[in-house]
Structure 1
Amino acid sequence: MFDHGRMLRILHADLDSFFASVEQRDDARLRGRPVIVGPGVVMAASYEARAFGVRGGMGAREARRRCPQAVFVPARFSAYVEASRAVFEVFSDTTPLVEGLSIDEAFLDVGGLRRLVGPPEEVARILRERVRREVGLPISVGVARTKYLAKVASAVSKPDGLLVVDPERESEFLHPLPVERLWGVGPVTSARLRADGISTVGQLAAVQEAHLGGLVGAAAGQHLWALANLMDPRPVQTGRRRSSIGSQSALGGSARRSLAELDAVLVGLVDRVARRLRSGERIGRTFTLRLRFGDFERATRSATIPRSTASTAAWIETGRALLRAAYPMLEERGCTLLGVTISGLVEAGAEQLELDLFGQDVDRAVDGAVDRVRDRFGSAALTRGVLVGRRIGHEMPTLPDSGPARG
């Protein structure tokens, strides 16, 4: 009996150095040259710049030192969002089963196209040709039986490549790769694994799951052990609403900032995210503050409030408490990126109505009035006093959608 579970069906499509590729597409003078997007912090680097060791998140000074001939260009987020929408139209025209991961990558389930188009590798070839022809951008595609293997394959195939993982040779493909290829292995986990003599995926697969849990924690150990042993039953998920929504701002220039400067960035981000929540008729309960230090290491701080809400004031208060607690560390190590995420989202109608003992009705009325003014006259029609005269950095775009917080 034929095992359909062993068939190729998943594509992971990932645009190559997306921001830099858009710049090279739109300006012929940049093609073939090392291009870096971003003023104070590298937001994207073309592969010509990456050949010199330039990476995203690196400071501009270090990037110039490594690649003196690089061309620095300012970010054009509207161009990137437009390009992303065009690419996702190609995805959706290929198959209705598309799961967007970010502005520049997605999973596609093409298992049902065998009779209409051909095997998944042929669908991937056509997809790459269409993105190049219709949008003018290079894209790498991995084809595999599972989402995780497809994602690894697209990364290995870069730049501008196509890699198919034969279901009968999955271990041969995956196990020689460095353990950092596993989804969820960052610098800290990598250091722990390598200190224990685990440097490849194959070595991790051979370790007892309980031993791995002792190194990195039970949940993480179970997750990594399953991936290393080719266990990933997750389907491509479409039409699902987001479980979280966030925004982050890359901060150019010096990494040293006062609490007041970081507070202004925080308020601007929370204002933006809370409005998206209300536009999508969602409420949330957990606030996460995302930080990147001057040495480009990252950290998060989170808090869960008693009642789900979309109130801007409530989330600003929560975020400020986290920022104040983290500031001694930021004062010492600097800050190059600040982000906020609100998670645990549910429909606004799921909120339990209570007596207005804490001013929620006032907050809702204020938020509603501000939203109506901005909807009619534009986002700049009203701003918070703490933001007047301040430039809060460059917002990093997320996956475009047809409406805030919809997913």
Structure 2
Amino acid sequence: MERSYSSEKIFLHYDMDAFFASVEQRDNPQLKGIPIAVGFGVVTTANYEARKFGVKSAMPTVTAKKLCPNLKLLPVRKNYYSNIGKEIQGLIKKFTNKYEFTSIDEGYIDITEFVKTDNIEKFIIKFKKYIFKNVGLTCSVGIGFSKVSAKIASDINKPDNYFIFYNREQFLEYIKDKNLSLIPGIGKKTREQLKLFNIFTVSELYKVEKRELIKKFGESRGEYLYNVIRGIQYSDIDNNRKRQSYGHEITFNQSMNDILELQDELKIQAEKLSKRLKENKEFAKTVTLKIRYSNFVTYTKAKTLKFAVDDTEYIFNSAMENFRLLKKKDEVKLIGIHLSSITKSNIIQLSFNELKK
């Protein structure tokens, strides 16, 4: 393999290994070496021992237990995991300001200034030891000439390992026969559209001309599809990236049939979301209600307001409007509110009744 690095920039992508499950194993050594999953009703995270049995995220826990009868199920401690994620982010902020966190357990770092052509692996090992020493958790690392290539690289040798794309040619050789699901930014909806044209792999998409992709997907999306599989999709680190959404949800231990209790829960969630918006001096324009029933069918209903808001009553009333539109309001296993179209604009807010006009 060619080990020289010709790229002007070198990006590192870190991804904490089975984050929620790893935290639980760290805190309780008796869980080490056995298959565990975090979640109630639906698997949120499964450790690697459980994944060997086919257990994966978003799978009903009933199915997971059938695949792995010895599976240990643990409740979700979302706030606790979030605090640990922030601790990891704080460690990274101590040595660089060129970071971009995409979730509580993963992110990008521009390591160009730290790395010379002969010490990339040395830096990776130091980085992994630094994280483990301070939080007792392992991570997988990818190195690339772009954020996309670094992201793909971090998935190659999971868990607790690393992979390096030294150049664009090596990257293109690796992805050419892979399914399009490997590529960040090519989601399920896009892949469904491409299936209509019998396009499933990177090499098949490579044959489509740029003008055809732009015609089918629009200029921005079409150019992304064309560029990303050719290794020419570049973007810089953005540590001022605006939060895209806020959310809060709860999974009940047993099916909830009391409408008034569901209403009270939505009010509590609206209060928490309002507090978070105000702390960050942000406003939301779209309020989405998420609900999952005991049969695991999930529905979402969104309401876009005329003005961005941050007040509890606006959020709660919007969620309740969505709730009233639901035909089924019993056998509820999960309910939550998600806010999107986040803005910093402090627009004068009208009353809720005025917003509906």
Query: Could you tell me the TM-score, scaled by structure 2's length?
Result: 0.84
Is it true that 1:162 corresponds to 2:175 in the alignment?
A: no
Amino acid in structure 2 at the alignment position of 1:81: S
Q: CA RMSD in A?
A: 3.1
Task: Write out aligned runs for 1:158-307 (5 A).
Answer: 158-167=158-167, 168-212=169-213, 219-238=220-239, 240=240, 242-253=242-253, 262-290=262-290, 300-307=300-307
Q: Deviations over 1:336-394 (max 9, x none)?
A: 4634113231153xx348xxx7489xxxxxxxxxxxxxxxxxxxxxxxxxxxxxxxxxx
CA contact (8 A) 2:9 2:110 kept: no
1:201, distance to aligned residue in structure 2 (A): 1.8
* Separation in structure 2 between the aligned mates of residue 181 and residue 294 of structure 1, nearest angstrom: 32
Is it true that 1:345 corresponds to 2:306 in the alignment?
A: no
Q: Deviations over 1:40-87 (max 9, x none)?
A: 221211010011111122222111111101112223345423432332
> 1:394 maps to which residue?
none
* Separation in structure 2 between the aligned mates of residue 337 and residue 59 of structure 1, nearest angstrom: 16
> 2:13 maps to which residue?
12
* Separation in structure 1 between the aligned mates of residue 279 and residue 43 of structure 2, nearest angstrom: 32
> 1:40 maps to which residue?
41
CA contact (8 A) 2:180 2:201 kept: yes
Q: Deviations over 1:104-163 (max 9, x none)?
A: 111111111136x97444322211122223221110011001111111111222122201
* Separation in structure 2 between the aligned mates of residue 17 and residue 316 of structure 1, nearest angstrom: 34
> 1:149 maps to which residue?
149
CA contact (8 A) 1:192 1:216 kept: no
Q: SS in structure 2 opposite 1:307?
A: strand
Q: State the identity %.
A: 26
CA contact (8 A) 2:291 2:299 kept: yes
Q: SS in structure 1 opposite 2:155?
A: helix
Q: SS in structure 2 opposite 1:232?
A: coil
Q: SS in structure 1 opposite 2:93?
A: helix
* Separation in structure 2 between the aligned mates of residue 299 and residue 190 of structure 1, nearest angstrom: 22
Q: Deviations over 1:313-342 (max 9, x none)?
A: 1122222223333x23x6699764634113
CA contact (8 A) 1:270 1:340 kept: no
Amino acid in structure 2 at the alignment position of 1:346: K
* Separation in structure 1 between the aligned mates of residue 197 and residue 254 of structure 2, nearest angstrom: 38
> 2:135 maps to which residue?
135
* Separation in structure 2 between the aligned mates of residue 247 and residue 280 of structure 1, nearest angstrom: 14
* Separation in structure 2 between the aligned mates of residue 313 and residue 198 of structure 1, nearest angstrom: 47
Aligned length: 348
Task: Write out aligned runs for 1:312-351 (5 A).
Answer: 312-325=312-325, 327-328=326-327, 336=334, 338-348=336-346, 351=347
CA contact (8 A) 2:284 2:342 kept: yes
Distance 1:120 1:337, change over 3 A: farther
> 2:115 maps to which residue?
114
Q: SS in structure 2 opposite 1:141?
A: strand
Q: Which runs of 5+ in 2 are unaligned?
A: none
Q: Deviations over 1:226-282 (max 9, x none)?
A: 2222232211112x2634441232524567767655544433322211111112222
Distance 1:67 1:245, change over 3 A: same
Q: SS in structure 1 opposite 2:65?
A: helix
Task: Write out aligned runs for 1:388-399 (5 A).
Answer: none
* Separation in structure 2 between the aligned mates of residue 10 and residue 233 of structure 1, nearest angstrom: 11
* Separation in structure 2 between the aligned mates of residue 220 and residue 298 of structure 1, nearest angstrom: 28
CA contact (8 A) 2:270 2:337 kept: no
Query: Could you tell me the TM-score, scaled by structure 1's length?
Result: 0.75
Amino acid in structure 2 at the alignment position of 1:315: I
Amino acid in structure 2 at the alignment position of 1:18: F
CA contact (8 A) 1:192 1:215 kept: no
Q: Which runs of 5+ in 1 are unaligned?
A: 361-407
CA contact (8 A) 1:22 1:80 kept: yes
Amino acid in structure 1 at the alignment position of 2:40: P
* Separation in structure 1 between the aligned mates of residue 70 and residue 108 of structure 2, nearest angstrom: 36
Is it true that 1:21 corresponds to 2:22 in the alignment?
A: yes
* Separation in structure 2 between the aligned mates of residue 229 and residue 333 of structure 1, nearest angstrom: 48
Distance 1:32 1:175, change over 3 A: same
Task: Flag the structure with higher helix content.
Answer: 1
Distance 1:312 1:200, change over 3 A: same
> 1:72 maps to which residue?
73
Q: SS in structure 1 opposite 2:246?
A: strand
Q: SS in structure 2 opposite 1:304?
A: strand
* Separation in structure 2 between the aligned mates of residue 177 and residue 297 of structure 1, nearest angstrom: 31
